[in-house]
């Protein structure tokens, strides 16, 4: 039995590191609802950030993209002090210069690095930048699916205040503990329960399940406080960042696909855990293409190669 388990683990490990590349830059149907996901971005152009920014621009230019979801940590390492902080230019405006990235809205949530700085400035920058949309710390975006008359609900959640590691560390994360945890969880529950959207997708910064060297308490808090809300309310995908690699995890009995989107700058190694469907250590970003009866999810790396595709059907 141990020998069989070892063989299966090795096969899965190979799947994490030796996936065959598909064709380069995606071409998606214009009739679909197409969304880019990027996160863990701002590093002044280094660690593949500038290269990936170019790829994001190309994907946005050759496809009809509804918006880009920024799943936290757009500005490493300490967020920003205010809306005029030079970090905005050094890590966002001077990097994401493709015209196509100015014509689509960016919907942004904060990650742990923004909680080092001024989270309100992340929201207020929406008044300065036409593409930047951070209407609140947590919010929804409803998008029509083609001309079907149906819609997809995107629920953006603020995960740092859900985790005690941040809540209980006011010196390093001064705003996390001041946020009303129960109010956000009640809002998530009510939002998901009351929605009759054809698809429900939740986007946060921290993972519920993932291989990572980060402390277990992060995922335990997410599992204890968020997982049941996802599992019991028809959520197709929970998408996050934070871990800096690609992972698709579906625990036994789960109804939700748990996606870790890789860093759009600097990535980290990864290995499979229980429930791992796919993992890959490349930096990159993701794209979703949505119809009323299916979601095609693509992970694209820093070389413009689609390293993984996954489809959910109704």
Mean pLDDT (whole number) for 138-153: 97
Q: With 70 as the cut, is the pLDDT of residue 193 above it?
A: yes
Query: Helix or strand or coil: residue 230?
Result: helix
Query: What H or E segment, with its residue span, contains residue 181?
Result: helix 181-194
Taking the model in full, what pTM does it have?
Answer: 0.93
Instruction: Check residue 46 and give its pLDDT.
Output: 61
Query: 181 near 161, Cβ under 8 Å?
Result: yes
Give one word for 261, left, alpha or beta, with left for phi > 0 and alpha for psi -120 to 50.
beta
- Per DSSP, the three-state class of 15 is helix
Q: Specify the pLDDT at position 45.
A: 59
Q: Could you give all domains of the chain from N- to C-terminal order, each with its CATH number? A: 33-313 (3.60.21.10)
The proportion of the chain whose per-residue pLDDT surpasses 90, expressed as a percent, equals 89
**Is residue 8 over pLDDT 60?**
no
Predicted confidence at residue 43, as pLDDT, reads 72
Beta strands in the chain (DSSP E): 33-38, 65-71, 106-109, 132-133, 139-144, 151-156, 199-203, 237-240, 246-249, 257-260, 276-280, 284-290, 294-301, 306-313
Average pLDDT estimate for 237-251: 98
Please, what is the average pLDDT of the chain? 93
Q: What is the pLDDT of residues 70-88, one digit of tens each?
A: 999 999 889 999 999 999 9
Give the pLDDT confidence score for residue 24 in this predicted structure: 61
Segment 280-294 shows an average pLDDT of: 98
Average pLDDT over residues 190-201: 98
Give per-residue pLDDT as tens, 14-66.
445 434 333 467 999 999 999 999 999 977 756 799 999 999 999 999 999 99
């Amino acid at each position: 039995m141990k020998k069989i388990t070892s063989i299966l683990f090795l096969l899965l490990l190979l799947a994490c590191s030796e996936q065959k590349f598909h064709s380069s830059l995606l071409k998606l149907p214009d009739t679909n609802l197409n969304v880019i996901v990027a996160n863990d971005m701002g590093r002044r152009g280094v660690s593949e950030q500038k290269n990936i920014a170019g790829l994001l621009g190309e994907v946005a230019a050759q496809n009809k993209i509804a918006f880009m979801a920024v799943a936290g940590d757009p500005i490493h390492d300490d967020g920003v002090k205010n809306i005029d902080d030079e970090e905005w230019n050094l890590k966002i405006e001077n990097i994401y210069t493709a015209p196509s990235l100015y014509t689509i809205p960016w919907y942004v949530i904060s990650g742990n690095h923004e909680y080092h700085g001024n989270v309100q400035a992340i929201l207020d920058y929406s008044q300065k930048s036409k593409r930047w949309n951070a209407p609140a710390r947590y919010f929804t975006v409803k998008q029509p699916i083609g001309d079907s008359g149906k819609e997809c609900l995107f629920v953006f959640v603020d995960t740092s205040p859900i985790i005690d590691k941040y809540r209980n560390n006011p010196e390093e994360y001064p705003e996390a503990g001041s946020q009303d945890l129960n109010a956000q969880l009640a809002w998530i529950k009510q939002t998901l329960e009351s929605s009759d959207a054809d698809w429900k997708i939740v986007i946060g910064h921290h993972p519920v399940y993932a291989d990572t060297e980060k402390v277990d308490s992060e995922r335990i808090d997410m599992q204890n406080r968020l997982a049941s809300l996802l599992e019991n309310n028809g959520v197709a995908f929970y998408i996050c960042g934070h871990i800096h690699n690609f992972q698709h995890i579906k625990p036994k009995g789960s109804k939700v696909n748990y996606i870790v989107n890789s860093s759009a700058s600097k990535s980290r190694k990864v290995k499979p855990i229980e429930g791992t469907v796919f993992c890959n250590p490349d930096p990159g970003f993701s794209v979703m293409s949505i119809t009323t009866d299916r979601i095609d999810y693509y992970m694209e790396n820093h070389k413009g190669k689609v390293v993984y595709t996954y489809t959910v059907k109704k």
